[in-house]
A and B are shown apart, each in its own frame.
Chain A
Amino acid sequence: MLTFSNTRRINYPMLLRVLGWLLMIEGSFMSIPLLTCIIYGESDVWAFAAAFAVTIICGALMTFCIRPASPSMAKREGFLLTASVWVVFSFFGMIPFMLCDTPIGVTDAFYETMSGFTTTGSTVYPTVETLSHGINLWRCLTQWLGGMGIILFTLAVLPMLNYSGGMQMFNAEVTGITHEKLRPRISQTAKGLWSIYFILTIILFGLLWLGPMNLFDSICHALSTMSTGGFSTRDNSIGFWDSNYVKIVVTLFMFLGGVNFSLIYKGAHGDLKAIWRNDTFVAYIKIIVLSFVAFVIAIATAGKAYSWEDITIDPLFQIVTTMSSTGLTANNFETWGPFVLALVFILMFFGACAGSTSGGAKIDRLLYLLKNTNNELYRSVHPNAIRSVRINGSIMSPETVDKVIAFLCIYVMVIAFGGILLTAIGIPIVDAFFSSFSCVSNIGLGAGVTGVGGMGYDVIPDLGKWVLSFLMLIGRLELFTVLILFTPAFWSK
């Protein structure tokens, strides 16, 4: 007979113990930039050695000194762990930024790390070219780890979360409305997704290395492109190389980064039909094609089409970098006129497919919204008609549709709230809303003072950076996982 013990209190010891494990994983990731510094003979090696030691020791202490009375992790522990692990990772991950030869303050370092883990990709460094190789690699590595997900990585490599508690965390971290499982067990699903991600990153690295990029830049850009993060080792981002080959390769992989990884997994296992049957994927391509046409017309009418690249690869690059929430830049899109800026706004809002590494509200939700709106309009003419929202061939329950609509409302409210807070700090209104929007959507593009022509996110005051860091976290974990922690119902016994 099977009954579950109803422990209503949150199991903090177990929570800390799992956090300890996760910190040791972060620590081992830190050894990669540490090695890089040794190879390049850079003095930042001490910054990484210190960060590595602190992280590993803290992790080990938490893991081996805390003996939880029960190993059970329920729903609430799942939410709390998932939200806190991203914050804790950022606090430890910022140590190298503060101790290196080009040190920055706590606020900036935290912002930079959070921007990395959430794959936002907006940076506080006015110039990144003076940074050491180790620091640049660490920035890109945080994006790569955060892109697919910290919890998902842990589920793939550590068997200890492979129980029902792990399910909660999987649901809390992976983006999307419903969470598709590829294989019966959660660890197998996580392994499947991570191996696809890993293989794509390796292929991208190879392709970039074949082009004009050197070894180090190829590694960094492979990591930050696949995760749709957008950190670059150059101030001009992809524009530095001014190479169509690089632009095309990066565009292709940013596109892949915006596709649902379970779909890529199925495609890689021979189920090509599933790809074309997937409504979201088809919509993703349609949106790219439509906005490409709109971009070209806008650029042509604005008289900015000076060469053939201006109406082919450049707009396409801009569309994909925006939709997939990467935020790598190859050209200054602000000069293309206000219409393009408005289009970028819309593309940023919905982002790419759920279950990908991209940010934004996700095309899946756009589809729900459109289909449901269509049904509502139809019903006002035929009041007795029964119509349902059908996605990928199956009918969605009204509860799911309600949840999506609620999500979109809260999403807009969070962006607006963030924007208002920033104006209170003294940031110009357009920039305030644009950066709030950019951070919630995890894209990290800037416009106006924060844009390519301006100073970057460095100009925002400290308080504003904390606000933006928090917005990035909310955006990455898709609202509910973070916001639920602020409801009294979550904490009540």
Chain B
Amino acid sequence: MKIVIAGAGEVGSHLAKLLSREEQDIILIDDNRERLADIDANYNLMTLRGNPISFKSLKEAGVDRCDLFIAVTPDETSNVVACAMAKSLGAKKTVARIDNYEFQDMTNRGFFTDLGVNALIYPEYLAAQEIITALRRSWVRHWFELHGGQLIIVGVKIRDTARIIGMQLKEFAMTEHNFHVAAIKRKHETIIPRGDDRILLNDILYFATTRSHVDDLLDICGKTHHRIRKVLIMGGSRIAIRLAALAEGEFKFKIIENNKAKCRALPEKCPNCDIVQGDARDIEVLRDESITDYDAFVALTDSSETNILTCLTAKELGIKKTIAEVEDLQFISEAEGLNIGTIINKKLLASSKIFQILLDSDVTTTKCLAMADAEVAEIEVKPKSKITRGRVRDLSLPHGMTIAGLVRNGVGMLVSGNTVIEPGDNVVVFCLSGALHKIERLFY
């Protein structure tokens, strides 16, 4: 599949790197030579220096023959214009990143379709949705739904209240049939566990399960579900406004914003929220706003450092759930190791959303979710493939992979050693980064 990406910012380059490992033909356009130089020298893709809204550069990039055109420059107008130009040149499908909620409104969709923009990505909206998911299930670190929710992957941090600490995975599998531990994140490393690996304190365990059994995990991991009602938000950013608009009924929000002018504008956009002007880095301010009464703290300022540190402070003050927006990719791994509940990154959310759009349009590719240093792939099993030749335990599958579950005839189920995989099943595989191409062979 030929994909042209306009804009080598963080979203664009992240996406390009992700896709270049997937046997796709990637061409990355940007008018900044330095930004392209490093990607060009180190990744299996082609770069082109040029303005994304110039017919000349678009033609040079071969947009007329591309299957997907993705515009992710920082400027939303350029993105829309670039998509319209690419479409008129012959691109099959176009995706633009936007910054304006109104654009995404369904009633305005027709306008963009007429312009030639097939899909819109609004990172702030995605971030707000992610925050809502995290608030609804406060005990979960990560939550992925696969195949329309038939299989669910849940990441849970193991604290000293969990009764499974020290248990070997084979013992765990004997007592609990409705869960499959597909991956363990321990410190900075992701492990694809085997039967004799033990569950340790502070591990993040990724369970594969079905919807009806998710709540049993609360008991297993010694978690209690806190129903979250009152949420304190730090920073009146666009995500905060989007969050307030989406979930005003479900949660009670209070926004602390330092900038006076912004505070004046906020009540108009979020009529049902309390707005406080002040610096949330100041513990006195937090105490004045009686932070201990709140169920959750969400830090959404422009500064990742501030967000991380303030969340840690909030945790110390006794808040059960904290969520931090971390925009610097370098900090994410470190921040995940700290005692912050959920980390939000607009760029990663946007790139994985585009990734999904892309994969939906091409059924032959495996669907893949990239997390930390492991990959989760959803693969359709072809007839006569190696994987169907017997029970899973007899197949001597390679190290570094595990089959978490499968969807057969639209119904999700877990896979154990005795399962026989049939052609036509959609199998969910966990594997370490870079090993996916080896594993795909088993399924074709």
Contacts and interface: CB of A to CB of B under 8 A. Distances in A.
Given A1-B348, A2-B370, A163-B21, A184 B2 contact: yes
A186 interface: yes
Interface string B244-271: 0000000000000000000000000000
Contacts of B25: 183-185, 188
Given A72-B434, A397-B33, A185 B17 contact: no
Contacts of A70: 434
A70 B433 CA distance: 10
Nearest to B4: A184
B317 interface: no
B33 A1 contact: no
Given A167-B41, A167-B43, A2 B434 contact: no
A163 B370 contact: no
Interface string B415-444: 000000000000000000111000000000
Interface residues of B, number: 32
A166 B44 contact: yes
B42 A164 contact: yes
A384 interface: no
Contacts of B333: 3
Contacts of B348: 1
* Chain A interface, >50% SS class: loop
A397 B433 CA distance: 35
B54 to A, nearest CB: 15
A163 B373 contact: no
B300 interface: no
Interface string B187-224: 00100000000000000000000000000000000000
Given A71-B434, A72-B434, A3 B43 contact: no
B44 A162 contact: yes
Contacts of B45: 184-185
Contact of A184 (B26, B434, B435): B26
A120 interface: no
Given A1-B371, A3-B333, A184 B46 contact: yes
A333 B348 CA distance: 65
A168 B2 CA distance: 23
Nearest to A166: B44
Given A71-B434, A184-B25, A185-B25, A2 B42 contact: no
A188 B40 CA distance: 15
A388 B23 CA distance: 38
Contacts of B147: none
Nearest to A5: B373
A166 B44 CA distance: 8
B18 interface: yes
Interface in B320-358: 332-333, 345, 348
Given A183-B25, A184-B2, A184-B26, A1 B372 contact: yes
A436 B13 CA distance: 45
Contacts of A1: 332, 345, 348, 370-372
B49 interface: yes
B48 to A, nearest CB: 10
10 contacts: A2-B17, A3-B333, A5-B189, A70-B434, A163-B434, A164-B21, A164-B44, A166-B44, A185-B25, A394-B49
Interface of A: 1-5, 70-72, 75, 162-164, 166-168, 171, 181, 183-186, 188, 394, 397
Given A2-B18, A5-B433, A181-B40, 10 more contacts: A1-B345, A1-B348, A2-B370, A5-B373, A75-B42, A183-B25, A184-B2, A184-B27, A185-B44, A185-B45
Question: What 7 A-B pairs are tightest by C-beta distance, nearest first?
Answer: A184-B25, A184-B46, A181-B46, A186-B44, A184-B26, A2-B370, A3-B333
